[in-house]
C-alpha cells in the first residue's frame, strides 16, 4: 500500500529556504525511501551495484508514480513538488535519487502531454500505476545527434541497430525512451523518437558502468541489434541536430528534477560538515576560519535554490515547452550544479582531513556531485544557448 505524504510526518528538510504550503508535501515520502537507500549507499558505491533496495521501497510506497495525475491513480505531484522530494532523496543517497530522476522526468513529460490531450500518454501513465513501469532514457548519449541507425520497413516499422550509453537504472527498466536516425547520420537527416520494451528481441544490456561517482545508478549500455520498432511506437520525428518539440519537452522536465537532486547532495554535505565543525568548536563557538566557509555554503545553497524555485515560478502552472522555457530551466540547473560542486568542496575543507577517507560521506558526495557537470546542457553549453536566444537565434539547436 502506498504511503501518503501526511502519514510519514514532518522531516528535516534538505533544502535551505522557506517553502510555500504544499511544496514539500511529498518530502516525508522521499525521506522514507531515503532511509532505505542510505543503509545500502556505501555498499552500492563500493561495488558499483544497482540501488535495488531503494527501488523496492519506491515500488512499495508509490514513489515511482509520484507525478502521475491522481485521477489516473498516481500521487499527483507537480513538477515543483517532485523537485522538493528529489532534493530530500538526494540528501540520503545521490545515486538512488539520480537514477529515479530519469524515470520521474519521463513521467512528468507524459503527464504534461496527457494534460494537453496527447494520444498514448494516458496509457503510459496507467502502466506506470498498474505495473510500476520504470522508464529509462538514452538522452545523455543520443542528444541532438544520435548515431544509432534505423531503416524503414514497408509497413512503416523500423529496424534499429546501435549502442546507447548512460542508460541509468537499466536493470530495473521496463522500457527505454530513445531515438535513431533514419538512414545516414548528418545534416538533413531525420530522427525518430520511440520507446522499446525491455527486454525485447535484439536488445541486450552490457554492464559497462564503472565510474568515478554515481556508481549505484547502473547506467549501463543498451545494445540494439536489428531491433524491430512497430510504426505505432514512433511518437515523433525531428531534424537531426535540432531539439524538436519532443526533446525540448523532455529537457524542460529533466533539468529541474536533476538540479534538485544535486542540491540535495550538497545540502547533506553542508550538514555533515557543520556537525563536525561544531564538534571541534572550543567553548561552543566555532572560529572565524570555520564561520566563513559555513556562511558561504549557506549563501550558495540558498541562491541556487532560489534560482531553481524562481525558474519554476517563471514557468507558472500552465507553462509551454519552448526554447525560452528550456533556457530558463537550464540556467537554473547550471546554477544548482555549480553551487553543489562548490558547496561539497567547502564542506570537505570545513570538515577537515577526515573527509578524504573513503568511509566519509563527503568523499562520496565529492565524486557524485561532479556528475552534474556532464548532463546536457552542460554549464558552458547553457551559457551559449542562452546567449543565442538573447541575440535573436530561434533556439532550435544547441
Same domain (yes/no): 186, 51: no
What's 312's domain CATH number?
Answer: 1.20.140.10
Residues 111, 185, single domain; the answer is no
And the C-alpha cell for 354?
A: 577526515
Structural domain for 157, as ranges: 145-239
Q: Which of 113, 133, 153 is the last residue of a domain?
A: 133
* pLDDT for res 15: 65
Is 229 found in the same domain as 124? no
Residue 107 belongs to a domain with what CATH number?
1.10.540.10
Instruction: Give a yes or no: residue 395 inside a domain.
Output: no
In-domain check, residue 398:
no
Is 222 in the same domain as 322? no
139 lies in a domain? no
Question: Domain check: are 294 and 345 in the same one?
Answer: yes
Q: Based on the domain organization, do 362 and 256 belong to the same domain?
A: yes
CATH number of the domain encompassing residue 168: 2.40.110.10
Give pLDDT tens digits along the chain (398 positions): 344 333 333 334 666 666 777 999 999 999 999 999 999 999 999 999 999 999 999 999 999 999 999 999 999 999 999 999 999 999 999 999 999 999 999 999 999 999 999 989 999 999 999 987 999 999 888 899 999 999 999 999 999 999 999 999 999 999 999 999 999 999 999 999 999 999 899 999 999 999 999 999 999 999 999 999 999 999 999 999 999 999 999 999 999 999 999 999 999 999 999 999 988 887 778 888 899 999 999 999 999 999 999 999 999 989 999 999 999 999 999 999 999 999 999 999 999 999 999 999 999 999 999 999 999 999 999 999 999 999 999 999 99
Clarify whether residues 204 and 318 are in a common domain.
no
Same domain, 251 and 386: yes
209 and 104 part of one domain: no
Q: Is residue 138 part of a domain?
A: no
Question: Residue 6: what pLDDT?
Answer: 39
Strands 149-152 and 175-182: parallel
Residues 70 and 169 in one domain: no
Q: Are residues 118 and 82 in the same domain?
A: yes
Q: Is residue 140 part of a domain?
A: no
> In the chain, how many domains are there?
3
Q: Which three cell numbers stand for residue 291?
A: 564561520
Residue 110 located in a structural domain: yes
**Looking at the domain assignment, is residue 396 inside a domain?**
no
Residue where the block lists cell 545494445: 223
Residue 28 lies in a domain: yes
Regarding whether 314 and 258 lie in a shared domain, the answer is: yes
Domain final residue pick, 239, 259, 275: 239
Provide the pLDDT for residue 47.
Answer: 97
Listed residues 133, 167, 183: the one ending a domain: 133
Amino acid at each position: 500500500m502506498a504511503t501518503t505524504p501526511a502519514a510519514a510526518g514532518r522531516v528535516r528538510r534538505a533544502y535551505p529556504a522557506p517553502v510555500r504550503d504544499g511544496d514539500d508535501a511529498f518530502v516525508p515520502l522521499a525521506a522514507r525511501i531515503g532511509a532505505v537507500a542510505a543503509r545500502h549507499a556505501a555498499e552500492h558505491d563500493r561495488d558499483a551495484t544497482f540501488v535495488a533496495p531503494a527501488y523496492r521501497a519506491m515500488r512499495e510506497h508509490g514513489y515511482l508514480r509520484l507525478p502521475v495525475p491522481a485521477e489516473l491513480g498516481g500521487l499527483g505531484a507537480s513538477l515543483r513538488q517532485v523537485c522538493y522530494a528529489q532534493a530530500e532523496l538526494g540528501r540520503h543517497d545521490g545515486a538512488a535519487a539520480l537514477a529515479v530522476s530519469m524515470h520521474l522526468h519521463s513521467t512528468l513529460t507524459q503527464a504534461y502531454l496527457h494534460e494537453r490531450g496527447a494520444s498514448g500518454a494516458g496509457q503510459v501513465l496507467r502502466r506506470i500505476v498498474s505495473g510500476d513501469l520504470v522508464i529509462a532514457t538514452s538522452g545523455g548519449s543520443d542528444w541532438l545527434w544520435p548515431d544509432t541507425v534505423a531503416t524503414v520497413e514497408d509497413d512503416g516499422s523500423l529496424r534499429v541497430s546501435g549502442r546507447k550509453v548512460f542508460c541509468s537504472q537499466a536493470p530495473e527498466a521496463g522500457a527505454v525512451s530513445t531515438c535513431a536516425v533514419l538512414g545516414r547520420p548528418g545534416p538533413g537527416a531525420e530522427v525518430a523518437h520511440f520507446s522499446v520494451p525491455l527486454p525485447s528481441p535484439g536488445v541486450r544490456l552490457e554492464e559497462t558502468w564503472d565510474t568515478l561517482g554515481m556508481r549505484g545508478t547502473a547506467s549501463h549500455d543498451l545494445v540494439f541489434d536489428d531491433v524491430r520498432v512497430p510504426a505505432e511506437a514512433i511518437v515523433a520525428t525531428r531534424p537531426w541536430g535540432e531539439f524538436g518539440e519532443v526533446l525540448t519537452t523532455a529537457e524542460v522536465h529533466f533539468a529541474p528534477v536533476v538540479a534538485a537532486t544535486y542540491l540535495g547532495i550538497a545540502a547533506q554535505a553542508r550538514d555533515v560538515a557543520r556537525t563536525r565543525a561544531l564538534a571541534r568548536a572550543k567553548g561552543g563557538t566555532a572560529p572565524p576560519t570555520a564561520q566563513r566557509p559555513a556562511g558561504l555554503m549557506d549563501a550558495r545553497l540558498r541562491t541556487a535554490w532560489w534560482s531553481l524555485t524562481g525558474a519554476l515560478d517563471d514557468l507558472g502552472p500552465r507553462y509551454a515547452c519552448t526554447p525560452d522555457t528550456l533556457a530558463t530551466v537550464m540556467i537554473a540547473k547550471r546554477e544548482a550544479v555549480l553551487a553543489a560542486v562548490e558547496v561539497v568542496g567547502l564542506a570537505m575543507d570545513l570538515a577537515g582531513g577526515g573527509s578524504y577517507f573513503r568511509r566519509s560521506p563527503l568523499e562520496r558526495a565529492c565524486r557524485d556531485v561532479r556528475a552534474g557537470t556532464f548532463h546536457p546542457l552542460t554549464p558552458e553549453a547553457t551559457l551559449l544557448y542562452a546567449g543565442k536566444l538573447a541575440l535573436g537565434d530561434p533556439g532550435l539547436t544547441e
